[in-house]
Structure 1
């Protein structure tokens, strides 16, 4: 059976990658992920071996480090980022679900800052509050007018919310994987900024 499976894998790259992805999720396979990742990296593979998460599409080293840093704390935002990243860069991606988890990661860090008393708050409430009360807030970047306006952050949140698959006006559509990956990268940056006090009340 093993010889037959190996023979099939030698003639089918996708099957081979799916098998590796599966084996990495087992105890024995997971213990070998570092050696496998070394081989994949040296060979210039588009895939990387990740402990407990199987194969994931290799991204720019700086982007990977940003994600690793943003997802390292033990909190809800990190868990949502991990879910978003997995669905955006795994062997079996789900663009819409990746986008949803990216939004939830940003909600987890911004709702307590901007609308902590809002009942059943969502990212839309954060955007609405920042837009209507922008003069109360200071963004870490000075901007073109050197006034630390929150407008650049609002524009980023507008790009992230809502998921195009969740539009209620009849124009909803499944996002492309490239769009979802961009949303995840954007969420990583916003989460890091929020944790680093990039958004504060003006004194």
Structure 2
């Protein structure tokens, strides 16, 4: 089957986001920082904001649970932009090269509907997608729930078998594979261009 569509996850693929970029200076104590990120402001909590819960509601829920960490919990979303350190230049360069090809380019991201507009406004490469981006916080669905891929397929009338899905999360890769997508699991040392060429993409 000929590849027609290339679908990018954003965090870990095109954007370098990590709460440690803010909290390292905040705590000046790696052990305390890791405790906070593993037990107080953990992924499971942040994911609910990516699923569509408001940042303020998520913050209040956690403050109620961990009142002794109130200051740190409130600092999380107040300083979210510091956690979005930069783009991942080598992968963004590949995206820019794909812009001049016949492939359709899409985004499928787990991202809060409240924070995503900041990235959209501050990183010009998002314009390459021409609005063809499915954001979990807007849809109230989150990867690896297969439903969010169905939103993408139906909204843009594309076929999984004609598409490559790129993500850094192994659970998302497995879910996409089970739906019939060709996949690329991005790791820090992945040569994205080489992986795309391997799947038949021509630059």
Structure with more relative contact order (C-alpha pairs < 8 Å, separation 6 or more): 2
TM-score (norm 1): 0.28
Larger proportion of strand: 2
Pick the structure with greater CA Rg.
1
TM-score by length of 2: 0.28
